[in-house]
Amino acid sequence: MELNFLTDNAIIYVLIAWVAIFAVAKGLRLERYGFSIKPYSLTYKNYKVQDALVRLLGRTRRGVRVFADVSVIAGFIMMGYVFFFLFLNISNYFVEPDEFAELTVLLPGVTMTSASAIMYFLLSIPIVLVIHEGAHGIVGVLEKINIKTGGFAIFIAMFAGFVEPDEEQFSKAKKISRLRLIGAGPTSNVIFAFILGAILLTNPLFAMGLGGVPGAEPLVDVFYESAAAGVLVLSVIDGGGAQQAGIQQNDMIIKIDDVNIASATDLQANPVEPGDTVNVTVLRDGSEIVFPVTIMASPDDPERGLIGIMRNDMGQLPEPIFNFIDWNLDTSFGWQFSWFLLWLWMISFFIGIINMLPLPILDGGKFIHTIIEGRISEKTVNGIMMAVYAISFIVFGLNIGLSYVKSGWFTI
């Protein structure tokens, strides 16, 4: 496996951060407060979670009961959706390659090398885990299944949250009670994602996130106006051909000579040579203007030609129809906060959905096992579960593997 320089640096930063966390935990002797500290992990267990959940349930019992019942139905729907998504994606790879969604497992420092992406990920994961495990816990208390402990664990670059129900009470509980408890975690994440998504429908960046969700295209069409085709000029390079020709900030480049430019990709696919003169058509205040631009040489590569602009590689963002929230995307804080909310939505939605994939360590595996156990022999149950796990591993693995085949080792 060959990692680029940026990935190597990111791994080093993650390891340095882990060493710092480990050293601080040891220095503060956090073992006294319920922490278990090992060279590769930091685990915290709280034995008073049950009391907090009982108090919370006392105020929300009716709503939790409805939520628990919904979680069983939602569990089946989410399991069906995750298989639909993964099977459809495999099919797209061979039938409609342009529609294939590349997938990767998010690992800070390995598949996540952007500092901003790692920051958004690290801020989002604790929120998602608290919601997920809290839902498991409160439904467990509702179903009279005691929660012995709750907490979290850090494994160098990965986070995990957990609640530990009393195994004896769980195994003796009614099947519907166990299904409610299991389905509660993923359902809470998806419901949270829906609520957050409803707010983000007023944010132009959210349309980008919806673009990666199969079946979400109608939402984009309903809640957003189509983005204008072209490449937005963020600024012009002093003394460059674009500035000398009269191109200005916020102009939209829509054509070079006779080639239509719909995105930055089209611009990159239309190479120009230093010293050439090309006709650049821009859209300014609704009018098309043609500028003859003399191509300048790139400072980094004299043989590569540049128009002389700083462009927006993301393209024009679609305009939300219900634009009653000012997200201040023209400010650094507004931009960063919007990206964080987009990451929080994506992680919450996909963790909820993927958790219903029938694998041994996920809620989906427990969900299927609970459904079929007791009706047939234990040996048959184990055989069926092994077959289900194998299918899930193959389908999920193919999605990851085909993504690698298509783009090689890619990072975020």
pLDDT of residue 68: 96
- How far from 97 is each of 112, 210, 265, 402, CA to CA, in Å? 24, 19, 18, 11
Q: Is residue 155 scored above 80 in pLDDT? A: no
pLDDT tens digits for 170-213?
999 999 999 999 999 999 999 999 999 999 999 988 887 776 66
Per-residue pLDDT averaged across 30-42, rounded?
82
24 occurs within a structural domain? no
Per-residue pLDDT averaged across 369-380, rounded?
90
pLDDT of residue 134: 93
CATH code, 269: 2.30.42.10
Q: Is residue 35 scored above 80 in pLDDT? A: yes
Q: Is residue 77 scored above 60 in pLDDT? A: yes
Provide DSSP, 347-375: HHHHHHHHTTS--TTSHHHHHHHHHHBTT
Cα–Cα distance for residue pair 338/219, rounded to 1 Å: 19
Per-residue pLDDT averaged across 77-81, rounded?
96
Domains identified in the chain, total number? 2
Angle at 47 between CA 41 and CA 48, to 5 degrees: 130
320 occurs within a structural domain? no
226 occurs within a structural domain? no
pLDDT tier at 2 (50, 70, 90 boundaries)? very low
pLDDT tier at 238 (50, 70, 90 boundaries)? confident
β-bridge mates for residue 395, sequence order: none
Residue-number span of the structural domain to which 300 is assigned: 231-311
In this structure, the answer to whether residues 140 and 100 fall within a common structural domain is yes
In this structure, the answer to whether residues 181 and 65 fall within a common structural domain is yes
37 occurs within a structural domain? no
Per-residue pLDDT averaged across 80-105, rounded?
90
| 21-35, 205-219, 322-336, 373-387, range with the lowest pLDDT | 205-219
pLDDT of residue 312: 58
pLDDT tier at 159 (50, 70, 90 boundaries)? confident
Domain boundary among 311, 346, 379: 311
In this structure, the answer to whether residues 60 and 107 fall within a common structural domain is yes
Per-residue pLDDT averaged across 273-278, rounded?
89
Helical spans, DSSP H, in 96-216: 115-142, 167-172, 175-200, 206-210
Tokens of 38: 């090992």
In this structure, the answer to whether residues 139 and 262 fall within a common structural domain is no
- In the structure, how many helices (H) and strands (E) does the chain have? 12, 14
pTM above 0.85, yes or no: no
In this structure, the answer to whether residues 130 and 180 fall within a common structural domain is yes
| 31-45, 232-246, 362-376, range with the lowest pLDDT | 31-45
82 occurs within a structural domain? yes
Identify the burial level of 344 via C-beta atoms within 10 angstroms of its C-beta, where 0-12 means exposed, 13-18 middle and 19 or more buried. Answer: buried
In this structure, the answer to whether residues 177 and 61 fall within a common structural domain is yes
In this structure, the answer to whether residues 256 and 358 fall within a common structural domain is no
In this structure, the answer to whether residues 192 and 240 fall within a common structural domain is no
End-to-end CA distance of the chain: 17
153 occurs within a structural domain? yes
Per-residue pLDDT averaged across 373-389, rounded?
92
Please, what is the average pLDDT of the chain?
Answer: 85
42 occurs within a structural domain? no
In this structure, the answer to whether residues 74 and 167 fall within a common structural domain is yes
- How far from 344 is each of 59, 151, 186, CA to CA, in Å? 27, 20, 15
In this structure, the answer to whether residues 237 and 114 fall within a common structural domain is no
Q: Is residue 317 scored above 50 in pLDDT? A: yes
In this structure, the answer to whether residues 53 and 195 fall within a common structural domain is yes
Domain boundary among 281, 311, 341: 311
Q: Is residue 1 scored above 60 in pLDDT? A: no
pLDDT tier at 4 (50, 70, 90 boundaries)? very low
Domain boundary among 311, 341, 357: 311
In this structure, the answer to whether residues 305 and 391 fall within a common structural domain is no
219 occurs within a structural domain? no
